[in-house]
Structure 1
Amino acid sequence: MKRISGRVFRYPLLVATVIVGVLGLVLWLAGATDAPRWLFSSFGLVVAGIESVGMIKRLRQGTFGVDLLAVIAIVATVAVGEYIATLLIVLMLTGGAALEDYAAGRATRELTALLTRAPQIAHRIRPGGADDAAATEIDDIPATEVRLGDLLLVRPAEIVPVDGTLLTASASFDESSLTGESLPVEHTAGEPVLSGSINGQAAATLQATATAENSQYQRIIALVAEASTSKAPVVRLADRYAVPFTAVSLLIAGLAWALSGDPVRFAEVLVVATPCPLLLAAPVAFMGGMSRAARNGIIVKGAGVLESLARARTVVFDKTGTLTYGTPAIAEVRAEAGFDSDTLLTLAASTEQYSSHVLAASVIGAARDRGLVLTPADSAREIATHGVVARFGDREVAVGKLSFIRDRAPAAVATALSGGELAIYLAVDGAYAGCIVASDTVRDNARATVDALGRLGVRNSIMLTGDARATAEHVAAQVGITRVQADCLPSDKVDTVRGLTERPVIMVGDGVNDAPVLAVADIGIAMGAKGSTAASESADVVILLDDVSRTVRAVRIGQDTVRIALQSIWIGIILSLVLMLVAAFGLIPATAGALSQEAVDLITIFNALRAIGGRVDAAAGVRVPARPGSPAAAGRDYSGRMLHKA
């Protein structure tokens, strides 16, 4: 009930038009045949007055729409006594405005999710309590009350509340929400830690170097808010044809009046010149395009977004989670002499059963994919952020970082790694046994996506990432992107996108770190299946499937929608011009003209509804290319309404 009442108040003129129409019909059935004429005519003049006020305001802002012709048409039908035509014009005018407003309204959302995720609580260690993290030595305070120099305890899996310097000997942090890097980052004492990063499995102590207001995460929030308000509004497609259509209509009507000497001829021409095709063709087509996109697992926030997609010339990609799967996968097992790859992987996976490290699940999953049987350990202990040592009978296996393994097997050496790779080293009974290489795998369809966008006219492709340049260039080479900018913070990405000249610009990304640049781009596309809610809120388009190729489909739907909308507008304009020329010679009375114009409206609308098509690319039963080892790779189908978590 609240939703219905809210819509009533949101579109009062449309609701009032329907009420007036129903009331007029009741009066006519009751025998009061003159009452509907006075009711419809009076109501039409009131709406014309309201529209005139709005038209004047828009003219002062330098915007000219089809409002002028609509107002003149309403007055003209009242003048010739065609009160039914008056109400029909008002209905089309208010209905079209409501439809367009509804489409635009879908793009306006508060960034509540981003604000909600912001760190709220900090654990401040009392003076003298840094060496003892007992509960009695810690005060829980709002993050906004943290001051420079405060000692803070960050518990396992908690969000770092403010920027600080690490005091603990070493700690692992998930910084994917800030830099986009999917692998955990190891920090040692004295290194800076950014707010918004997530602590690993061991408690860490840090000293605040910034207040909450000046920390990295809050700057991201401020960038999103600023970028969201700085975007220029998209001009309505129909308004581009308003000036010439209005001028031609008034010229034909004026000539008909002047040559015939009959002022009724002026009204008859304008009756068939009502701008309903212009008012409804584009909104109907764009709503159809948005519906088609939704069936394909793509949420488009407004008609203007589809128009921008159709004209896009540059695409910018984030790397992690967008061009790559965003989760580490086992790329290679490099066994030393005396071990084969299956034996090494079995030992590593059996040991990693007792680890809380993010890579442990990847190692165990790779072993199970090969059908290897894991062995339970007689004993195991994990050294946080370093590795795990487990004993299987009389054999001791150590798995972890290189420095950890070298303490047990001095012969261990660093293995050669390509960009984006990370190695897990093994020692067995004090001897170096080899290593397992993990990497964030490039999506199977990433290169095809870049190539397909180029064929659609989006020929400029760029990759922005917080990763190191070697990693970024390695991925870019795989997917066919030649322009790369690495080591980017969120503000760097925003500055780069703002400076691009080949526009409109599409930005494709996921994660909180992408939220500001998604907001400032002409079209922000968020990979909603894995991306943060903040990215989805900031974006103009949200892809519900974990499938970057949907970017291509979004552009294609935008191009198809604009093409159909333009076809519908031109069909309406041409048919209206033909009717105007016929009416100028007095061959179409006002009543017949109103009916003829309604026929034009129907033809225009039915053509615009073609944008709802696209059954061939509907998303029922889409198979999404998945990271090897995931459920999707094992053969699971994902429909357009399901999310694939890579």
Structure 2
Amino acid sequence: MRKARVLIVTYPVVALTVAVLAVVLGLLASGQGEAARWLASLYVGAVVIHTAVGMVRDILRGHYGLDILAVVAMVATIAVGEYVAGLIIVLMLSGGEALEEFAARRARSELTALLEGAPQRARRLAEDGQVQDVDIAAVQIGDVLLVRPAEVVPVDGELLDEVGVFDESSLTGESLPVERVRGESVMSGAVNGEVALRIRASASAADSQYQQILTLVTEAQESKAPTVRLADRFAVPFTVVSLVIAGIAWWASGDPVRFAEVLVLATPCPLLIAAPVAFLGGMSRSARSGVVVKGGGTLEALARVRSVAFDKTGTLTHGRPALTEIDPVEGADPDELLRLAASAEQGSSHVLAAGVMQAAHDRGLALSPVDSASETATNGVEAMVDGHTVRVGKLRFVQEVDPTATFPELEPGHTAVAVAVDGRWVGSLILRDTLRENAAATVRILREEGVGRVVMLTGDNEATARSLATQAGIDEAHGGLLPEDKVRLVGELPPIVVMVGDGVNDAPVLAAADVGIAMGARGSTAASESADVVIMKDDVGKVVQAVTIGRHTYRVALTAIWIGVVLSLGLMVVAAFGHIPAVAGALTQELVDLACILYALRALKGGTSHPELRLPSGGSEQQSPVSLRAGRADG
């Protein structure tokens, strides 16, 4: 009884149609054929009116859907007295919607798992050591929180204990637990291991990693794939062909019942169901791999990608440049040069700033507080440090105050920042960033997948860009670019264009590309929000996985549609010769619907696996020690 109540509440039209069909069959069994005919005709007529109203509204909006066939089929069955077949068509339509909803729930299960697992409470440690159970929204930056074994980390934080083990599979797709040590960041949404740990909150709940993922998931669930419209584009030709077959069958046989028998098998549920189920399955499949796709339309675009553009720093490279050399002008103190530059970089969000500050820390240099600072996006930062105006950034940025500034000859893979103090160039800091271990394999496999053009677009200098591009197997590289330059160059690439980036300066080009992919594990919120795809693991190889899943999903969707079309047309031809009665035809069409749904669910699995893209486990990049060049003459 409980299951029956759930069915009635969840699928009321299905339940009502089943009830009406049961009553009609009961009336026929008791010899009350006239009452059965009137009951069935009135019910089917009501459904026809309801469906026709929506159909007319769609037509007035210029959208010719597949409801036309369903309405004509129901009218035809009632007109020729095949009212039981008419009821089965209604059951088929409502049942198809129910099956679609069930399949969609199955396909969304991986996405909704994130929502269902969202932490609501946090355990805050008071100064006296007491544990306070508080709402997650009450957690403030700096609060010390206790995370018990097997609990979800409520907000982003910094680990305070010596070591901790976390399951980040729901965030990154990484199946193995990861180890964090004291001082390292811990993402909200990660599941703690077997030991209770303390973390210091570094972000509020609203600004934490988990909440950002939930926002992306919500957008993904509410999207509608363009391939649904592709299925609707089958409407006109499919309707015309079906009516022609039905009309010829009526004309050749002289029996109007034959018209209804053919149209019963033309009911277009397979076309309406297949595409959305497949794309929801594809989004679920990608989510399980640590790739959040914001909509089915994005999966379709990924299936047809022809050009891919990569940012360099933090995308093709690790994004953690380390200082390797200090190149002061003659008479300048290298330690003071580094100390002032690192102090100024405290006001910068650029990825190179961290390497400069880390080098100063490693050399035991005490950084001074910054009195004022202003950052020019993609160029550099200017700050007041100990009464001096310090400018750190690109060469042309420093040349604005001292045209004599120059860079030394850089080795491949190195980059440099110029430093000026009180309007005078005092030297350069040389840093090196390394290519990701699977970057070259990523580029090679993208070409194998049919991507005709792969380019690198970076704000870094041209020499470094070309050197690293060559290592990655990229023939075309553009360096020294501003955000507007990247947007322009992406617009010149053959569509469909995918742009992969991670920084704030990548947000405009990610939004401008046909598909923007953000490296969201360590990238900026702005990049993630403007992108269509967010990779939740720090792994550029996931770009290949996004493309292969998109292509697999698109193939599944189209194949499911054609399965429905071919089966329906074949059955219509058989019915045209009078071999399939109307009632049997309606029941047979239900099997066609089921076949399309089951095939569309194949999108939940699949997508080519490439073992060569897997990152090596353990170990870290060894950075070169900092060296000191002889002081150069000040021009």
CA change 1:547–1:601 in 2 (3 A) is same
SS in 1 for 2:266: coil
Cα offset for 1:310? 1.1
Cα offset for 1:52? 2.2
Among all aligned residue pairs of Structure 1 and Structure 2, give the percentage whose two residues are the same amino acid.
50
Contact 2:318 2:436 survives alignment (8 Å): yes
CA change 1:27–1:563 in 2 (3 A) is closer
Which residue pairs with 1:68 in the alignment?
A: 68
Amino acid at match of 1:68: I
Which residue pairs with 2:605 in the alignment?
A: 613
Q: Distance in 1 between matches of 2:610 and 2:268?
A: 33
Q: Distance in 2 between matches of 1:100 and 1:494?
A: 39
SS in 1 for 2:571: helix
SS in 1 for 2:433: strand
CA change 1:242–1:447 in 2 (3 A) is same
Cα offset for 1:23? 3.4
Q: State how many pairs are aligned.
A: 444
Residue 545 of structure 1 pairs with residue 537 of structure 2: yes
Which residue pairs with 1:479 in the alignment?
A: 472
SS in 2 for 1:442: coil
SS in 1 for 2:484: helix
Q: Distance in 2 between matches of 1:454 and 1:68?
A: 44
Q: Distance in 2 between matches of 1:515 and 1:461?
A: 19
CA change 1:57–1:499 in 2 (3 A) is farther
Q: Distance in 2 between matches of 1:495 and 1:15?
A: 56
Cα offset for 1:47? 3.2
Q: Deviations over 1:138-163 (max 9, x none)?
A: xxxxxxxxxxxxxxxxxxxxxxxxxx
Q: 1:531 aligns with which of 500, 509, 523?
A: 523
Q: Distance in 2 between matches of 1:96 and 1:30?
A: 24
Contact 2:308 2:451 survives alignment (8 Å): yes
SS in 2 for 1:304: helix
Q: Distance in 2 between matches of 1:99 and 1:494?
A: 42
Contact 1:55 1:67 survives alignment (8 Å): no
Cα offset for 1:24? 4.4
Q: Distance in 2 between matches of 1:512 and 1:360?
A: 14
TM-score for both structures, normalised by structure 2? 0.59
Which residue pairs with 1:119 in the alignment?
A: none
SS in 1 for 2:434: strand
Q: 2:275 aligns with which of 264, 279, 282?
A: 282
Which residue pairs with 1:323 in the alignment?
A: 316
Residue 86 of structure 1 pairs with residue 79 of structure 2: no
Which residue pairs with 2:562 in the alignment?
A: 570
| Residue range with higher mean Cα deviation, 450-459 or 564-573 | 564-573
Cα offset for 1:567? 2.1
Contact 2:274 2:561 survives alignment (8 Å): yes
Q: Distance in 1 between matches of 2:483 and 2:353?
A: 30
Contact 2:552 2:606 survives alignment (8 Å): no
Residue 21 of structure 1 pairs with residue 14 of structure 2: yes
Residue 41 of structure 1 pairs with residue 34 of structure 2: no
Residue 57 of structure 1 pairs with residue 67 of structure 2: no
Q: Deviations over 1:383-423 (max 9, x none)?
A: 9989999xxxxxxxxxx99xxxxxxxxxxx98642364238
Q: Distance in 1 between matches of 2:274 and 2:344?
A: 57
Q: 1:421 aligns with which of 410, 415, 418?
A: 415
Which residue pairs with 1:188 in the alignment?
A: none
5+ long unaligned stretches in structure 1? 1-13, 105-231, 335-344, 369-373, 390-399, 402-412, 426-433, 631-646
Residue 246 of structure 1 pairs with residue 244 of structure 2: no
Q: Distance in 2 between matches of 1:234 and 1:294?
A: 20
Contact 2:501 2:517 survives alignment (8 Å): yes
Q: Distance in 1 between matches of 2:59 and 2:345?
A: 64
| Residue range with higher mean Cα deviation, 380-389 or 16-25 | 380-389
Cα offset for 1:528? 1.7
Q: Distance in 2 between matches of 1:498 and 1:16?
A: 51
Which residue pairs with 1:446 in the alignment?
A: 439
CA change 1:39–1:470 in 2 (3 A) is farther
TM-score for both structures, normalised by structure 1? 0.58
SS in 2 for 1:519: helix
Cα offset for 1:289? 1.3
Cα offset for 1:101? 11
Cα offset for 1:264? 1.4
Contact 2:313 2:319 survives alignment (8 Å): yes
Q: Distance in 2 between matches of 1:375 and 1:483?
A: 38
Q: Deviations over 1:440-471 (max 9, x none)?
A: 32222222111111100012112222333233
Which residue pairs with 1:309 in the alignment?
A: 302
Amino acid at match of 2:317: T
Q: Distance in 1 between matches of 2:228 and 2:14?
A: 32
CA change 1:549–1:380 in 2 (3 A) is closer
RMSD across aligned positions (CA): 4.8
Q: Distance in 2 between matches of 1:625 and 1:237?
A: 43
Q: Distance in 2 between matches of 1:590 and 1:30?
A: 19
Q: Distance in 2 between matches of 1:496 and 1:415?
A: 29
Amino acid at match of 1:596: T
Contact 1:47 1:90 survives alignment (8 Å): no
5+ long unaligned stretches in structure 2? 1-6, 28-35, 109-224, 328-333, 347-351, 372-381, 387-391, 394-405, 420-426, 623-635
Q: Distance in 1 between matches of 2:450 and 2:608?
A: 22
Cα offset for 1:294? 0.9
Cα offset for 1:351? 8.9
CA change 1:319–1:260 in 2 (3 A) is same
Q: Deviations over 1:172-226 (max 9, x none)?
A: xxxxxxxxxxxxxxxxxxxxxxxxxxxxxxxxxxxxxxxxxxxxxxxxxxxxxxx
Contact 2:545 2:608 survives alignment (8 Å): no
Q: Distance in 2 between matches of 1:571 and 1:603?
A: 8
